[in-house]
Amino acid sequence: MRARIAFEDGTILTGNSIGAAGSTCGEVVFNTSMTGYQEVLTDPSYAGQIVTMTYPLIGNYGVNSDDVESRRLFLSGFVVREASKIVSNWRGDGLTLAEYLRKNNIVGIEEVDTRAITMHIREAGAMNAVITTEDTTEEELIRKAKKSPHLEGLDLVKDVMSPEPFVWQDKGKYHVVVYDCGVKYNILRQLAESDCRVTVMPARSSAADILALRPDGVLLSNGPGDPAAVDYAIETTRGLVDKVPLFGICLGHQMLSLALGGATYKLKFGHHGGNHPVKDLATDEVMITVQNHGFCVDLESLGGDKNVEITHLNLNDQTCEGINHKHIPAFSVQFHPEAGPGPHDGRYLFKRFCDLMDKA
């Protein structure tokens, strides 16, 4: 089946359909990871986005039930140069990438020039697009792309957070409540491996709801959309500051920064992939990190607060990758320390969180 991807600026590419038939809209981003496409597909932070993989061959090791990062696929669409027709991996469940996308009702396209898409987004900035298998005029596709909602001002957390509280692990030295804005399962796995009893609370929970559980610490999770639009999460985070040790990851980092009086802004094309260099300013060590965000904390917005220090910098564009409060137990990072591109460069942050809970 033929498929097309039409951008709001009028660019249209034609390829072959992979996944579900129909149409889908979203902001197009590119991910530079060579592997880990199943983790990308199941990351709730991609809600509202069409993901283009820059590596040309995707799907060769299939999919399995162990590597999923959430209860379902939340992204809007998927774009690859070539979706492998052959699956070879002892852990795989036998499904090809195309079958996996169809099973989960995700519209996708292959046999398009993903390098051209990547360069176009890098030059023009992130923009919305439509992927379709339907017989629609080019004019109508472009009009549909232009009308689709942009991420600025959009709250997508409400669409991905867990519908009800649940316990991930019921034993451990520390009781950690995860404030779920779209948490990845590997964050929960890392907490469990760090001897934590883990309770997950949906983002609609108040600070009082969370503190009533008497946690030793609270992890502010990753999630999709514009952090400034999720005012209820900022309010909850503000109510937790100075009450309990806090560790923020990705959107959680942005929430903590906003709660402390900072500001966020939209990046030109975001950071998405598994090869982003981040410098720890305390040690001068450089980590290879996994990134997935389209918004960033404004360094200058926190520069006037002498209680907050910048702890990590992105070496590609010098953007903020981490903060720490000097007087209360609260810190956060923009990247994903639970992921393993380095392979485990960021895992020390979970120990740091446990040390904070020990001291508290």
Q: Could you list the active site residues? A: 250, 336, 338
Q: What does the alpha-carbon distance between residue 262 and residue 125 come to, in Å, rounded to a whole number?
A: 24
Q: Per residue in 93-103, is it b (16+ CB within 10 Å) or e — as a string?
A: eebbbbbbbbe
Cβ–Cβ under 8 Å, residues 240 and 207: yes
Place of tokens 């380095």: 342
According to DSSP, the residues that pair with 248 across neighbouring strands are 220, 332
**Tally of residues, the chain:** 360
Closest C-alpha to 324, from 337, 339, 338, 306: 306
Residue 47, both tokens: 């809600």
Q: What does the alpha-carbon distance between residue 185 and residue 182 come to, in Å, rounded to a whole number?
A: 9
Cβ–Cβ under 8 Å, residues 278 and 245: no
Q: What does the alpha-carbon distance between residue 335 and residue 249 come to, in Å, rounded to a whole number?
A: 7
Cβ–Cβ under 8 Å, residues 329 and 249: no
> Which value, in Å, is the radius of gyration of the alpha carbons in the chain?
20
Which amino acid is residue 61, in one-letter code? Y
Terminal C-alpha separation, the chain? 59
Q: What does the alpha-carbon distance between residue 241 and residue 247 come to, in Å, rounded to a whole number?
A: 11
SS3 119: helix
Place of tokens 């939340």: 74
Which amino acid is residue 90, in one-letter code? W
Residue 228, both tokens: 């400034």
Closest C-alpha to 256, from 201, 211, 202, 301: 301
Cβ–Cβ under 8 Å, residues 51 and 77: yes
